[in-house]
Amino acid sequence: MKREFLLMSFCLFSSLCVAEPVQIETPPMGWNSFDSYGVYLHHEAAVRNIDAMAERYLPYGYEYFVIDAGWFGEVKLQPGTIYPAEKHAESLHINRYGLLQPSKTYFPHGLKVLADRAHAKGLKFGVHIMRGIPKVAVQRNTRIKGTKYRARDIADTVNVCSWCPQNYGIDMSKPGAQEFYNSFIDQLASWGVDFIKADDIVPHPREVEALVKAVAQCGRPIVLSLSPGGTVDPDAIGIFSQANMLRITHDIWDDQTGIDSCFEAWRRWQGKQYAHFFYDMDMIPFGELQIMSPLPEGLTGKETKNEIVKQKAAGKLSNVELLSGKGWHRWSGLSHDQMLTFITMRALAASPLMIGGDLVSMDDFAYALLTNREMIACNQNGVMASLIYEKGAVEVWYVASRNDPDQGWFGVFNRDSAAEASFNLLSVRGQTNLNPGSKLESVWDQRNLRYDSSVEIAPNSVVFIKFER
């Protein structure tokens, strides 16, 4: 009886001592491979980007090197090339426990070697995962590690991802379900993973809880990012906030539609922050994009996805595969003014700064924006700015420093795509308490301004101001 009591006490103590998810104080900064490589990043490109990140971006605080989806897929290739011939790999590499393994096609040396390289250079290493369990594991009915249960015992074959055919969901009411998530995250932790971007999971709060528990028990501090965005249930925010990041937008690309979507999401979520938790507006699509999707013959690159689908259905484009991501290999389509708006928004919204374009080939203008120390200071303030003025096409978003309310930043945005806007700073004096003695600097052109200055804002642009009362 005494032995049973001691055993029960030990088990209770162990359960109470499970580590909490890692807590972060500021929005994560880093790189994600999706915008530039889709789901087709390969070893050589990963090495080049790790080295470029460590040399050129780490000094500014960019530390998370994240490989997006597809690292486990044996992708069919176009003959004689490394380019993909299918959108999502039909063949997935798994082990005997149904756990995804690095692709022999794109990562023949595994992922641990890349994690070790990143760590040796002072970086942290991350991967993308999909909700659920691979369909191939269910087909083979693989055993769940450390249990008597198998893949078919836990698979949810009804609630499956609508845009990626590789996984089933997991029924968290079934024995073995939590153990599967634990075993998967334990494996990633053993490889040296410091960051997990979990996709298709936001619509399924019970699996979010399971993933949070799996990360907490793995013995390694891991930052957890939840996707996708767009439709997010506000009633589940208490669950989501147990992670570190939550996507609040659909995929954002290099166009005005993406910028407008971010403004809409910003409005919805302003003032709803939680400690150690940040709202994510997706990657920053600056620089060289969609490198693994060369433009096929017969296309100009201006066709919409629907136009290409119609041409394929008509037999006119039988050799064209619509690949992961948006569009074909290109440089970012954002104008300089749109880029100023884009990065100022990320700074003021305290959205994680995850670069999307290729780090090796990044153009000088984009690099200067991404490494601007005042922009980064505003972002790393970690507090989401609020909308304090709106009239016509002009919006003003404002945030004070969390360490000194007499300092901070605000952005005067011109949401008009065609006409220049004029704005006098006296219009927001009541909300900002600026006075004749205040120091104001326009961040992007280093101009000194007065509290009663009038500023001109180009279409789709912004005047980004640092203030000190």
Domain boundaries, the chain: 18-294+329-382, 387-468
> What is 387-468's CATH topology?
Immunoglobulin-like (2.60.40)
**Cα(25)–Cα(20) distance, integer angstroms:** 15
Q: Which residue has the tokens 């087709």?
A: 40
d(CA 333, CA 177): 44
Give the predicted TM-score (pTM) of the model: 0.94
Who's near 107: CB < 8 A, 6+ residues apart?
Answer: 42, 43, 46, 71, 114
Query: pLDDT tens, 44-97?
Result: 999 999 999 999 999 999 999 999 999 999 999 999 999 999 999 999 999 999
Which pLDDT score, from 0 to 100, does residue 367 have?
98
Instruction: Answer whether 97's CB lies under 8 Å from 186's CB.
Output: no
pLDDT digits 0-9 by tens, 11-29: 333 333 344 668 999 999 9
- Fold topology of 18-294+329-382: TIM Barrel (3.20.20)
Q: Report the share of the chain in percent with pLDDT over 70.
A: 96
Q: What is the largest CA-CA distance in the chain?
A: 82
CB 379 within 8 A of CB 346: yes
In sequence order, which residues have a C-beta less than 8 Å from that of residue 304 and are 6 or more positions away? none
Of the chain, the end-to-end C-alpha distance in Å amounts to 70
